[in-house]
Structure 1
Amino acid sequence: MELALITALRRLNRTIAMIVGLGLLGMAAFVVADIALRQVHASFGGSEELAGYAMALVSSWGMAYALLKFGHIRIDLVRSRTAGTVRTLFDIFSMVVMSAVVVMIAVKCWPVVERAIENGSRANTPLATPLAWVQIPWFAGWVWFAVMSCLVTLAAISLFVRGRGARTEPFIGAFAEQDMLK
């Protein structure tokens, strides 16, 4: 059951990453078109502001994808010198800590979004973008990362408790550079 959950989460995150990636490509095309227009003394205006919003969204939504693709940095100096159960416990500990931090970030993001909604806040720029339009999907990305991190952690703990801790390596392990070069 746990491994099926991880497979489903990987598939779902791949789809989300493709959608977010297409959005980022669209934003890059918009910026390039705006730069080209500036050469003939015209501009769409606000491309740098919109690109900043796009980066915030890509960052928050991309974190969950990076989690299951081993894209997060992890210092495994001690872990690399252990094996078996101790290594699995280090992996689970790192996931518990990551989950706690990400949940805390998601919780702390909500007051920012709530304030923007209540106040009808707008960006202090010529576009005067309603900040809630950007902050709600940004917040949703952090919530998704928190949910993902907790689900992965619970799957790893479940496997460990059931005596199948070695099965956690492919989704919560850390791979050193020298292992990847082999």
Structure 2
Amino acid sequence: MRWFEKALKLSEAVSRLAIWIGGISVLGVTLLISAEVMLRKFFIVSTGGADEISGYVLAIGFSWALSYTALKRAHVRIDALYTRTPLQIRAYLDCLSIVSLAVFAVILSYFCLQVVLDTIELNARSNTTLGTPLWIPQVLWLMGLLLFSLTCILLSVLAVAALVRGDRMRVHELVGSRTADEELAAEMSGSFITPEDR
């Protein structure tokens, strides 16, 4: 299990870098769109392709954020019944949820890989003024999904191993729905990262 713990730490470091790059990219595209609006308004000129680039950046940024969000247990959950169940049952539900998410992520990544391979084979380009080779944004998009899949697999292995050992608190720390106290601590710190994660 030590190898999986180390791999999870590496995944967290890569995910943190990915979310920073994704966030800076979204900020950059916001500035690009603002410049486009100003140029159209005052100079009747267009940069051309701002809408296309923003679509790519949003899709890539979203996929790159998935892994970090999973690691910080920040995905939205409907947990009205979950919070009223005993910790032992919650541990089983948490393991079921992360294994299900890992299966979904792997299937999604597989089909996305097929899309990328088809795009490369067809040498497909966007039918816009930029004529972007579509494999470029698709590969970046796929990288985020593959990182998400790997992270979910690591979390699944570690959570199930903790459940087998009877360490229900470790299961909660890895994949459990965050408690109201954890949410409050995150809000107080101005981030969705709890103080213990810092």
Regarding TM over 0.5, the answer is: yes
Match of 2:100 in 1: 97
> 2:8 and 2:146 mapped to 1: Cα distance?
18
Q: In structure 1, which of residues 10, 15, 18 is the aligned counterpart of residue 17 of structure 2?
A: 15
- Do 2:82 and 2:90's aligned partners in 1 also have CA atoms closer than 8 Å? yes
Name the counterpart of 1:151. 154
Find the partner of 1:122 among 122, 125, 131: 125
Residue 125 of structure 2 aligns with an amino acid whose one-letter code is R
Using the alignment, how far apart are the partners of 2:169 and 2:52 within structure 1? 46
Q: Which residue of 2 aligns with 1:113?
A: 116
Unaligned runs of 5+ in 1: none
Report how far residue 25 of structure 1 moved: 1.3
Q: Aligned letter for 2:12?
A: R
- Measured against aligned partners, the alpha-carbon deviations of 1:102-139 in whole angstroms (never above 9, x if no partner) come to 11111111111111100100011121111001111111
Kept in 2, the 8 Å contact 1:63–1:145? The answer is yes
1:62-81 matched pairs, under 5 angstroms: 62-81=65-84
* Equivalent position to 1:54, from 54, 57, 70: 57
- 1-side partners of 2:13 and 2:139: how far apart? 24
Which deviates more, 99-108 or 172-181? 172-181
- Deviation, structure 1 residue 144: 0.9
Root-mean-square deviation (CA, aligned residues, Å) is 1.9
Verify the 8 A CA contact 1:6 1:171 in the aligned structure 2: no
- CA offsets per residue over residues 34-90 of structure 1, 9 Å max, x none? 222112111211100100011110111111111122221212233212122211011
Q: Which amino acid aligns with 1:37?
A: L
Q: Percent identity?
A: 30
Separation in 1, partners of 2:89, 2:141: 37
Match of 1:135 among 138, 141, 147: 138
Indicate whether 1:165 and 2:161 are aligned: no
Cα distance in 2 for partners of 1:3, 1:88 equals 19
- Which of 30, 33, 48 aligns to 2:32? It is 30
Q: Say which is worse superposed, 6-15 or 95-104, in terms of deviation.
A: 6-15
- 1:87 & 1:27 partners in 2: Cα distance? 41
- Cα separation, partners in 2 of 1:3 and 1:132, compared to 1, 3 Å: closer
> Please, what TM-score do these two structures have when normalized by structure 1?
0.90
Tell me if the contact between 2:119 and 2:135 (Cα under 8 Å) persists in the aligned partners: yes
- What secondary structure sits across from 2:156 in the alignment? helix
Deviation at 1:179, TM superposition (A): 6.7
